[in-house]
């Protein structure tokens, strides 16, 4: 039964020590699906598509040249070589936006520029580098023209084809693609509103003077940047002291948020009031995840608001956000790659380890300082090496790595 110093029940009604995939799935299940809204493509950057996007036009919109050179009939040019160039008559030019409208016959060509439609009668391009001048109305080809330098109409996508799927995030390249499909406005999900609160009597605002034992509120600033990078909106609730009353007051200020993310106060200590508050007056969905750093993470609720409690240790809070919270906010599984280990990585018997690693020359090595408080390890190392429970990594083994 709960005691005054530590109200964690002996036999909790919620799961303890869940796996990383379980933690992600449980958070995802508590997040609402934000409603769709139609916005201009400029406003859609970083948002999530609510509908499939089909091509309203074909691209290329006409069969066109991939190069600067001449357009002609491939069959006329098959024997062309530096010592036996092929001479063609130049009829005119086709440039991007101003096509040549006549018909090109045998022994004839048209000067052409990248992106210009190829004239009727032609099927191949000879690049300008392979041409020798032969007066104003003729050229010599030093090698055969190639149909490979012709971009066929609709070769990239054809009108009517579904090219971008609902749920995808409009990254810069996808946004550019949406525009090239012909869309000026798109239907996207409203940004998730993420309330953010840091806790701890020792935690101070940047710019203030620190007393010994105090620490700057690096988590709240790092997490706010990560929330925005994940395509969500931050509702900054500021910082709470280690007082259950003050915590409750500040959390009540999260009106309109879809989820609250907190930093600190969820571990085993007497002053970990975030955990106590949810246990005694809110709801707990799970406590502790089988990962390091970040084991004490907690999922719960406060008067209908889902709450994800990150541990206060700076590495733990950012790593748990990246590994569990971000995939739930974006719907995207974490991007990982496989690299060879240049150093061994130790395994933990009952937790997946996310060790900081340094990538160099296609291999990854142990960064060394793996303490949960060593924030510069994340910034210096650049990668998290995922070591499954009980499976140590030897030099030369392949490991799964997440860029950070």
* Residues engaged in binding ligand AMP (CB under 6 A): 198, 200, 202-203, 215, 217-220, 263-265, 267, 269, 272, 311-314, 373
Contact status: 295 vs Mg ion (CB under 5 A): no
CA nearest to 389, candidates 359, 345, 358, 356:
345
Least separation in angstroms between CB 311 and ligand AMP: 5
What is the closest distance, in whole angstroms, from the C-beta atom of residue 3 to ligand AMP in the complex?
A: 19
Q: State which residue, 177 or 320, has the beta carbon closest to ligand AMP.
A: 320
The pair of structure tokens assigned to 179 is: 């525009």
Q: How far is the CB of 52 from ligand AMP (least distance, A)?
A: 41
| Closest approach of Mg ion to the CB of residue 387, in Å | 28
CB closest to ligand AMP, residue no: 312
Parallel, antiparallel, or unpaired: how do β-strands 16-18 and 283-289 relate?
parallel
Residue 193 near residue 235 (C-beta atoms within 8 A) = yes
Backbone angles phi, psi at 67, to 5 degrees: -140, 170
Q: How far is the CB of 264 from Mg ion (least distance, A)?
A: 4
Check residue 200 for interaction with Mg ion (CB under 5 A).
Answer: yes
219 binds, among Mg ion, ligand AMP, none (CB under 5 to 8 A by kind): ligand AMP
With CB under 5 A as the contact rule, the residue among 309, 312, 314, 327 that binds Mg ion is 312
Answer with the entry of Mg ion, ligand AMP, none that 365 interacts with (C-beta below 5 to 8 A by kind). Answer: none
- Chain Cα centroid distance, residue 27: 19
What is the nearest approach in angstroms of ligand AMP to the Cβ of residue 160? Answer: 51
- Does the bond joining 60 to the residue before it have cis omega, within 30 degrees of 0? yes
How would you class 340 by CB atoms within 10 Å of its CB: exposed for 0-12, middle for 13-18, buried for 19 or more?
A: middle
Query: In sequence order, what DSSP letters do the residues of 331-371 get, joined into one string?
Result: -PPPPEEEEEESS-B---SSSEEEEEEEEETTEEEE-S---
Cα 301 to Cα 279: distance, rounded to the nearest angstrom: 10
Binding residues with Mg ion: total (CB under 5 A):
4
Binders in 251-270 for Mg ion, by CB under 5 A: 264-265
Segment near Mg ion (CB under 5 A); pick from 97-105, 128-136, 274-282, 306-314: 306-314
In 3D space, the residue among 265, 198, 267, 185 whose CA is nearest the CA of residue 227 turns out to be 198
Q: How far is the CB of 373 from ligand AMP (least distance, A)?
A: 6
Q: Phi/psi of residue 55, each to 5°?
A: -70, 130
Binding string to Mg ion for residues 3 to 42, with x set by CB under 5 A, is what?
A: ----------------------------------------
Name which of 52 and 201 has its Cβ closer to ligand AMP.
201
Closest to 303 in 3D by CA, of 245, 244, 252, 362: 252
140 binds, among Mg ion, ligand AMP, none (CB under 5 to 8 A by kind): none
Q: How far is Cα 347 from Cα 393, in angstroms, rounded to an integer?
A: 7
Contact footprint for Mg ion (CB under 5 A)? 200, 264-265, 312
């Amino acid at each position: 039964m709960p005691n005054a110093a530590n109200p964690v029940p002996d036999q909790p009604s919620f799961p303890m020590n869940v796996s990383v995939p379980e933690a992600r799935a449980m958070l995802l299940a508590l997040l609402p699906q934000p409603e769709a809204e139609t916005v201009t493509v400029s406003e859609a950057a970083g948002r999530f598509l609510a509908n499939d996007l089909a091509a309203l036009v074909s691209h290329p919109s006409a069969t066109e040249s991939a190069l600067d050179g001449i357009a002609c009939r491939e069959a006329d040019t098959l024997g062309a070589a530096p010592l036996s160039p092929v001479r063609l008559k130049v009829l005119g030019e086709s440039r991007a936006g101003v096509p040549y409208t006549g018909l090109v016959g045998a022994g004839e060509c048209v000067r052409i520029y990248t992106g210009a439609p190829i004239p009727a009668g032609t099927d191949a391009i000879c690049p300008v580098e392979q041409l020798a001048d032969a007066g104003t109305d003729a050229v010599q080809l030093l090698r055969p023209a190639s149909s490979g330098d012709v971009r066929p109409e609709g070769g990239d996508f054809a009108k009517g084809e579904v090219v971008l799927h609902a749920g995808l995030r409009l990254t810069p390249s996808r946004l550019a693609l949406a525009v090239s499909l012909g869309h000026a406005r798109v239907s996207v999900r409203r940004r998730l509103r993420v309330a953010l609160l840091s806790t701890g009597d020792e935690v101070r605002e940047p710019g203030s003077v620190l007393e010994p034992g105090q620490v700057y509120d690096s988590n709240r600033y790092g997490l706010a940047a990560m929330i925005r990078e994940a395509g969500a909106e931050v509702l900054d609730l500021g910082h709470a002291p280690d007082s259950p009353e003050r915590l409750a007051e500040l959390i009540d200020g999260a009106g309109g948020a879809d989820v609250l993310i907190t930093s600190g106060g969820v571990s085993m200590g007497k002053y970990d009031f975030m955990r106590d508050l949810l246990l005694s007056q809110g709801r707990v969905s799970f406590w502790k995840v089988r990962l390091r750093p970040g084991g004490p993470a907690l999922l719960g609720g406060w008067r209908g608001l889902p709450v994800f409690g990150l541990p206060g240790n700076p590495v733990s809070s950012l790593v748990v956000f990246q590994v569990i919270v971000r995939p739930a906010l974006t719907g995207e599984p974490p991007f990982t790659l496989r690299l060879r280990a240049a150093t061994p990585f130790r395994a933990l018997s009952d937790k997946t380890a996310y060790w900081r690693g340094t990538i160099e020359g296609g291999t990854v090595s142990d960064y060394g300082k793996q303490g949960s408080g060593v924030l510069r390890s994340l910034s210096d190392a650049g990668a998290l090496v995922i070591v499954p429970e009980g499976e140590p990594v030897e030099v030369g083994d392949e490991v799964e790595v997440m860029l950070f």
